Amino acid sequence: MQTKFMLSAFAAAAAFGAVGLSAGAQAGTLQDVQSAGVLKCGINTGIPGFAFTDDAGTWQGFDVAYCRALAAAVLGDSDKIEFVNLTGNQRFPALASGEIDVLSRNTTWTFSRDVDLGFTFLGVNYYDGQGFIGRRSLGIGSATELDGASVCIQTGTTTELNLADFFRVNGMDFEPVPIETNEEARTAYLAERCDVYTTDASGLAATKSAFDDPDAHIVFPEIVSKEPLGPLVRQGDDEWADIGRWTLNVLINAEELGVTQANVEQLAAGTDNPEINRMLGSEGEFGELLGLSGDWAVAAIKAGGNYGEIFERFVGTGTPLGLQRGLNALWTSGGLIYAPPLR
Amino acid sequence: MAAAAGIDNEAKSTNVLRLWTDERARGVILQVVVLVSLAAFIAMIVSNTLANLERAGLDVGFGFLDNPAFFEINQKLISYSSTSSYGRALIVGLLNTLLVAAMGIVTATIVGFSAGVLRLSPNWLVSRLVATYVETIRNIPVLLQIIFWWTILIELPKVADSVVIGGGIYLNNRGVRLPAPILEAGFGWVFFAFLLAVVATIMIATWAHRRHDKSGQTFPVFWVGLGLIIGLPLATHFALGQPVSWDVPVKQRFNYTGGFNIVPELVALWFALSVYTGAFISEIVRSGIMAVSKGQTEAASALGLRSGQTMRLVVIPQALRVIIPPLTSQYLNLTKNSSLAIAIGYQDVVATGNIILNQSGRSLEIVGIWMLIYLSLSLLTSAFMNWYNKHISLVER
């Protein structure tokens, strides 16, 4: 009898675990957001540069800035956001269940997430890749010399898979030391529990900048994976996906066209560049076609500036992360950042 | 006619009323009501979940367990590589959970029983020391203790300065590396000799017990048994010309390779769980011993038993009846607490499941598997302890 009771208790618990996946809204996310008057945006629980709280306690960062631009475009106010902090494991169920409207949490665009999990990626706002950091005293200059090494990993990302693939393809062995949080993983690396530490290159830069003696460590040149990071929404609501996609495209096009947070109001009155005019609404009705107001793009750019401004403010060379634009420069400057035109 | 119907109705209503005032009938009705509403509640949740999953275009199933895992695991009790399946990765994780739980249960029991008995020691210093241990340890969250032990262990000498213990054993902050035995033909006989010794010891013990009951003569079963169990396999081993060779660790560029490595994560988790659970067990043991009335001890010494014999033959068997049920809970706690392994990178079933969950996105299935595994482990432990409890319980006449 006791066993039976516990089995039914288990069934109930399992069902409770499952109920988190209920209430998944399929269409009409725009209407839901507008009637609620607030955009529910899923972000990281805290990562320097990408999602962090400032001195005033408000959320800031590269990923957060996208949410603010989207809220401004949809609701006309970049503060009408409810931020939902999610760990790597929570993010997908949260999006699938409708707990959030958009996920902007340094998430890699992969086939299985796009197809199998039923999400739609809105584009790429950061081209990243997994790299290694090690001590200079190891006397090696390349990750291909790591046969037999112990590797610290921050678990819960695509990192494990890339790492295993890289070592297998190169015919090398390694001992994984997978640790849940960045802090503990760093502790283990600094105590020489492992020879190298691996995560996305942007994260390595942030981690290295916090070491007591950054010059004693070297980031190896190999980037072992492609990590195109970007925002994503649930599959099946094309209208909402279009809004999210074109908000990102507006931020990128704005940088290309020289539209900044400072001059966007002035340019919105009308210029002799038809592309700027179409984007900012003085020509055509692009906002209305999306189901938004005519000044949606103005609001989005005013929220935090164009793509380049957001990059420099939160993760660029002037910040503790000190990331170069590199792959994330505009296509006109030799990078990969490229947005389709508004016409 | 109308009057008759009225009486009939009245009779019916009193019947229903009587059903309610009848204690047994009322109990049955209430149980049925509760059971039906519980079943309805569960059915509602399940159908709601399934409907929503279908609407979101997600299918639930365990077919993904056959897909290749594409990640490595650092402690493997069975063969595993990154091209093995998700299912196998989960089994490797489960075995790691079982290993640390089993090791922890054994040591926590030893620590707990020793501390429990010592707490009652008439020696003021000893009992105070044990009291300090218990009160300190059980009031600090076990997660902090796990991280504490791990932080100490990873501050051991680095690989380059490994402590050479001798016999091919090396100690550094990546673990203890030991030579691994490679069994050759003929080792089966050594194992057979070991089994033979165990069986012989059991037979001797039974014979000695019977003789003791009849004649009161004692026989040193413990020493004889120990001699047999160690001596017989050892003698066979040498007689066959040592059919074992050793895989000795060798220093490579980054690490020692070869042999067998005990990772610091396992040791830290094992220490922390043993010390933490041991503190709780010691209190259970103390309460069990104190529950045995003083008259039993006095009667035992009146019969001429020494204090060690009094403890072993009179007090402990009676105390066990009080100790076993709460002890079971502690074993269950220890097993469940082992899931905190993820904090320090010991790859138990939760840590491996986490990676699978992340790569495949199958959160519902993985969480279900976790719950099923811990529930099964707990029920199995309970079942065994209940059997043992019945086995040792006082036979009342």
The complex's ipTM works out to 0.71
A5 band by pLDDT with thresholds 50, 70 and 90: very low
Q: Determine whether B158 is exposed, middle or buried from the number of CB atoms within 10 Å of its CB (0-12, 13-18, 19+).
A: middle
Q: Which of B147, B222, B237, B145 is nearest to B190 (CA)?
A: B237
DSSP for residue A284: S
Yes or no: say if A251 and A310 are a contact pair by the CB < 8 Å rule: yes
Residue A142's pLDDT is 87
Contact A168/B45, CB-based, under 8 Å? no
In whole angstroms, what is the distance from residue B112 CA to residue B62 CA? 41
Which residues in chain B are closer than 8 Å to A118, comparing Cβ atoms? Answer: 56-58
* C-alpha span between B323 and B375 (Å, rounded): 23
Average pLDDT over residues A110-123: 89
**What's the CA gap between A38 and B84, in Å, rounded?**
45
- Return the CATH class of domain A29-127+229-333: alpha beta
Q: Is residue B307 part of a domain?
A: yes
The pLDDT assigned to B175 comes to: 87
For A149, the closest of B254, B264, B363 (CB atoms) is B254
Chain A nearest CA to B151, separation (Å): 8
Q: Are strands A126-128 and A81-86 parallel, antiparallel or unpaired?
A: unpaired
Q: CB A24 to CB B151 under 8 A?
A: no
Whole-Å CA distances, B60 to A26, A99, A116, B1, B57: 19, 20, 12, 64, 10
pLDDT at A155 over 80: no
CA dihedral B360, B364, B366, B369 (to 10 degrees): -150
Across the interface, whether the CB atoms of A23 and B361 are under 8 A apart is answered: no
- Pairwise CB contact (< 8 Å): A179 & B344: yes
Q: Provide the pLDDT for residue A90.
A: 81
DSSP tag of B397 = -
pLDDT at B3: 52
Within an 8 Å CB–CB cutoff, is residue A13 touching chain B?
Answer: yes
Q: Do A175 and B82 touch (CB under 8 A)?
A: no
CA B288 to chain CA centroid, Å, is 21
pLDDT confidence of residue A212: 85
- Using DSSP's 3-state secondary structure scheme, residue A292 falls into coil
Q: What does the pLDDT look like over A119-149, one tens digit per residue?
A: 999 999 999 989 999 999 888 888 888 998 9
A residues 93-122 near B, CB within 8 Å? 93, 96-97, 112-113, 116-118
Residue B167: burial class (beta carbons within 10 Å; 0-12, 13-18, 19+):
exposed
Question: A16 pLDDT exceeds 60?
Answer: no
pLDDT of residue B255: 83
Q: Taking a contact as any Cβ pair under 8 Å apart, which residues of chain A between 20 and 49 contact chain B? A: 21-24, 26
Q: How far apart are CA A292 and CA A301, in angstroms?
A: 15
What is the Cα–Cα distance from A232 to B362, expressed in whole angstroms? 18
| Contact pairs from chain A to chain B, CB under 8 Å | 163
**What b-and-e string marks burial along A40-63, b requiring 16 or more CB atoms within 10 Å of the CB?**
bbbbbeebbbbbbeeeeeebbbbb
Is residue A85 helix, strand or coil? Answer: strand
Which residues of chain B neighbour A17 with C-beta distances below 8 Å?
A: 364, 367-368, 371
Give the domain CATH number at B365.
1.10.3720.10
What pLDDT shows up at residue A75? 94
Tokens encoding A307: 């793509």
DSSP H or E run through B112: helix B86-119
- B201 contact partners, CB below 8 Å, separation of at least 6: B221, B224, B225, B228, B229
Q: How far is B17 from chain A (nearest CA, A)?
A: 30
Choose among B262, B251, B95, B107: nearest CA to B178: B262
Instruction: Inspect the interface and report whether the beta carbons of A161 and B56 lie closer than 8 Å.
Output: no
Whether CATH 3.40.190.10 fits A130-225: yes
Q: What would the DSSP string read from start to end of A210-272?
A: TSSSGGGEEE-S---S-EEE--EEETT-HHHHHHHHHHHHHHHHHHHHT--TTTHHHHHT--S
Each residue's pLDDT tens digit in chain B (397 positions)? 455 555 556 656 667 777 778 888 888 889 999 999 999 999 998 888 888 777 766 677 888 899 988 888 988 888 898 889 999 999 999 999 999 999 999 999 999 999 998 998 889 999 999 999 999 999 999 999 999 999 999 998 888 888 888 778 888 888 888 888 777 777 788 888 889 999 999 999 899 888 888 888 878 888 888 888 888 888 888 888 777 778 888 888 888 887 788 999 999 999 999 999 999 999 999 999 999 988 998 999 999 988 888 888 888 888 988 899 899 999 999 999 999 998 888 999 999 998 898 888 788 889 999 999 999 999 999 999 989 888 877 666 5
- Residue A118 to residues A28, A61, A93, A107, A233, Cα–Cα distance (Å): 17, 27, 11, 14, 9
Find the helix or strand (DSSP H, E) in which B10 lies: helix B2-21
CA–CA gap between residue B171 and residue A53 (Å, rounded): 43
Strands of chain A (E only): list them. Answer: 39-44, 52-53, 59-60, 81-86, 102-103, 119-121, 126-128, 130-135, 149-154, 174-179, 196-200, 217-219, 227-229, 232-234
Amino acid B266: pLDDT:
95
CA of B28 to nearest chain A CA: how many angstroms apart?
16
Nearest-CB residue to A148 (from B55, B154, B255): B255
Per the domain annotation, does B346 fall within a domain?
Answer: yes
Is B52 in contact with A6 (Cβ distance < 8 A)? no
Using the beta-carbon criterion (under 8 Å), do A8 and B154 form an inter-chain contact?
A: no
Residue B320 to chain A, least CA–CA distance (Å): 23
Count of all residues that appear for chain A in the document: 343
Number of structural domains in chain B: 1
Q: Which two three-digit tokens encode residue B15?
A: 């019947």
Domain with CATH 3.40.190.10 in chain A: 29-127+229-333, 130-225
Cα distance from B366 to chain A (closest Cα, Å)?
11
Say if A56 is an interface residue toward chain B (CB within 8 Å). Answer: no
User: Phi, psi (5° rounding) for residue A227?
Assistant: -125, 80
Query: What confidence score (pLDDT) does residue A104 get?
Result: 94
Looking at residue B358, its pLDDT comes to: 82
Q: Does A169 touch chain B (CB under 8 A)?
A: no
- Using CB atoms within 10 Å of the CB of residue B37, give its burial: 0 to 12 exposed, 13 to 18 middle, 19+ buried: exposed
- Beta bridge partners, B28, equal none
Encoded tokens for B112: 């707990």
Domain span including residue B282: 86-152+263-392
pLDDT above 60 (res A21): no
* Whether the Cβ atoms of residue A314 and residue A50 lie closer than 8 Å to each other: yes
Confidence (pLDDT) at A15: 43
Unique residue bearing structure tokens 């429990």? B116
pLDDT of amino acid A8: 44
The predicted-structure confidence for B41-59, as pLDDT tens digits, reads as follows 999 988 888 887 777 666 7
Mean pLDDT of chain A: 86
CB contact (8 A) between residue B357 and residue A89: yes
In this structure, what token pair is assigned to residue B358?
């992340």
Q: Kindly tell me the burial class for residue A145, based on how many C-beta atoms sit within 10 Å of its own C-beta (0-12, 13-18, 19 or more).
A: middle
Query: CB–CB of A160 and B367 under 8 A?
Result: no
Residues contacting B58, CB < 8 A, separation 6+: A21, A96, A117, A118
Verify whether the Cβ–Cβ distance A10 to B357 is below 8 Å: no
Dihedral of CA atoms B322, B326, B327, B332 in degrees, nearest 10, equals 160
Residue A6: what pLDDT? 42
Q: What backbone torsions phi and psi does residue B120 show, to the nearest 5 degrees?
A: -90, 5
Q: State both tokens at A270.
A: 């009308």
pLDDT of residue B13: 64
Residue B72 with chain A: CB contacts under 8 Å: 160, 163-164, 167, 174, 176
Q: Return the sign of the alpha-carbon dihedral for residues B204, B205, B206, B208.
A: positive
Q: In what order do the strands lie in the sheet with B169-172?
A: B163-166, B169-172, B175-178, B260-262
> Is the CB of residue B340 less than 8 Å from the CB of residue B143?
yes
Cβ contacts of B56 on chain A, cutoff 8 Å: 21, 24, 26, 96-97, 118, 234
Which tops the pLDDT comparison, B240 or A279? A279
- CB distance A63 to A104 below 8 Å: yes
Closest CA to B354 of B108, B93, B85, B125: B93
What three-state secondary structure class fits B195? helix
The answer on pLDDT for A24 being more than 60 is no
Q: Report the alpha-carbon distance of residue A247 to residue A83 in Å, rounded.
A: 18
Helix (H, G, I), strand (E, B) or coil at A316: coil
Select from B317, B350, B335 the least CA-distant residue to B382: B335
Half-sphere exposure of B372 (CA within 13 A, CB side): 10
Q: Which two tokens mark B194?
A: 């070991």
